[in-house]
Structure 1
Amino acid sequence: MSTAEAILWRGLRRRGTAAKFRRQFPMGPYVADFACMEVRLMIEIDGPAHDAPEQKDKDVAGDTWLTRQRWRVLRFSSDAVLTGSELVLAEIKRQASRRPSSDPAAPGHLLPLAQEKGDARQGITQ
């Protein structure tokens, strides 16, 4: 685990959320940094390598595939975790409290969260 992943993992385990997270969770051809099966929420911590155009394309493809599998994906920069882990944990807790809808017509049912509601906070992408 990277330093940012270790900090976030400690925060998830120590403070807990309403849901249980697993780390290094395999899903199809992808492995999520953290995943909560109960609310179908995956969390990715992106380091500087994710800034490269080819990696951004891979991330978009992966997020699209996961969304089609009815997973929500939250991405945070490693800098956001290192400098503001409490804010990151608060956002994860907020998102984990949202239960997935079984109604395909429900807002955001198969849409990434960024399309449901933009998040202007620095370092936090969805």
Structure 2
Amino acid sequence: MQLNPYLSFDGQCEAAFKFYEQCLGGKINAVMHYGKSPMAEQVPPNWQSKVIHACLTVGDMELMGSDAMPEYFEKPQGFSINLQFNDVTKAEQIFDALAAGGTVRMQLQETFWAKRFGTVVDQFGTPWMINCD
């Protein structure tokens, strides 16, 4: 079994995944749009270019997502994507990249359990925790 986070966006999935690809050093494997899917006739014209499914590989992990139709979109809450690091410099680099245009909830800092820990909500509304042992 593999556990993969699946994120929903309000029309910004493609931009978010390009941002994550750059920030996390991953590779986008797939981006499928509503307009080129069997659902093309079921979505409004302004949703033809929205993402029905995207997949980003970072190392041996996958992050997936899509644009949720407006009536189904819910703002992310009650979870965070945790990124675990062994390298303080890399943790700081990723934290700063995700914080660009977003909101820092807890500055990346030393804690009693970690060399560095911080939380940020990126510019697309996705909550992240950065932890460095």
TM range (shorter): under 0.3
RCO greater where, 1 or 2, for CA within 8 Å and sep 6 or more? 1
Give me the TM-score of the superposition, normalised by structure 2.
0.26
Structure number with higher helix proportion: 1
Structure having the higher Rg: 2
Give me the TM-score of the superposition, normalised by structure 1.
0.27
